[in-house]
Amino acid sequence: MDTVQDQFARRLEEKGISISSMLDQFEGYYRELVSWNEKMNLTGITEREQVYTKHFYDSLSLAFFIDITEVERMADIGSGAGFPGIPLKIAFPHLKLTIVDSLSKRISFLQHVCNELKLEGVELIHGRAEDIARQASHRDSYDLVTARAVARMALLNEFCLPFVRKDGIFAAMKGNDPAEELSESKLSLKELRGQLEKVESFSLPIEDSARHIVIIRKTGVTPVKYPRKAGIPAKSPLL
């Protein structure tokens, strides 16, 4: 264990998360991310300490505010290079994780990562969230659904809430204060049976940049008309 990993592990230990036995997997993930990033655009962050802080630690911050040990099925929508889903799966191996992403190259990368890290119980789906959420095996099915830096809340609610089971949680991971987004997303929350529970705030270590996690409770099953056909929510968000 070097300084970067030691600091990473210690900061998480302070939050009650022990990942010391998973450090080899995180390092393997880092190596594959940097290697594949030379062939395709996965991330603008490749410096090792920054990856551990801005991607790995940031992804695991969800577990500071939600008890992941109580979560069985989790879906990560628009996961990109696998954040926050893959770091959470490494730290909490019991999770049954589904990742949905619209770019097949990213799904290929994530399949490679899962193979290399020997991660089991991960389903990788190439497709649009609006289409996948209409499938019976995914609709109203997940205990926890996440999205990290994907879109504004009015749009995210339609992408993500249809996946969440009644009484389950949708957690949107944001950088800047989401107050304005939340104000404009009241209609979409109501339509998609979501209720804002709280917004948690913290700062990333080292660079001290702000992070916010919007926690929404699903209050009922998704109305039949949602989500609308792929592409429509982005062109005409529920405002």
> Is 168 known as a binding-site position?
no
How far, in Å, CA of 83 to CA of 46, rounded? 14
Structural contact between residues 77 and 161, judged by C-beta atoms closer than 8 angstroms: no
> Is 231 known as a binding-site position?
no
How far, in Å, CA of 135 to CA of 143, rounded? 17
CA atoms within 13 A on the CB side of 170: 28
How many other CB atoms sit within 10 Å of the CB of residue 105?
14
> Is 63 known as a binding-site position?
no
H or E element, residue 37: helix 23-37
Angle (deg, nearest 10), helices 104-117 and 23-37: 150
> Is 148 known as a binding-site position?
yes
How far, in Å, CA of 4 to CA of 44, rounded? 19
How far, in Å, CA of 168 to CA of 71, rounded? 9
Q: What angle do CA 185, 212, 172 make, to 5 degrees?
A: 50
How many other CB atoms sit within 10 Å of the CB of residue 114?
20
How far, in Å, CA of 140 to CA of 222, rounded? 7
How many other CB atoms sit within 10 Å of the CB of residue 14?
9
> Is 78 known as a binding-site position?
yes
The annotation places the binding site for S-adenosyl-L-methionine at 78, 83, 129-130, 148
The annotation places the binding site at 78, 83, 129-130, 148
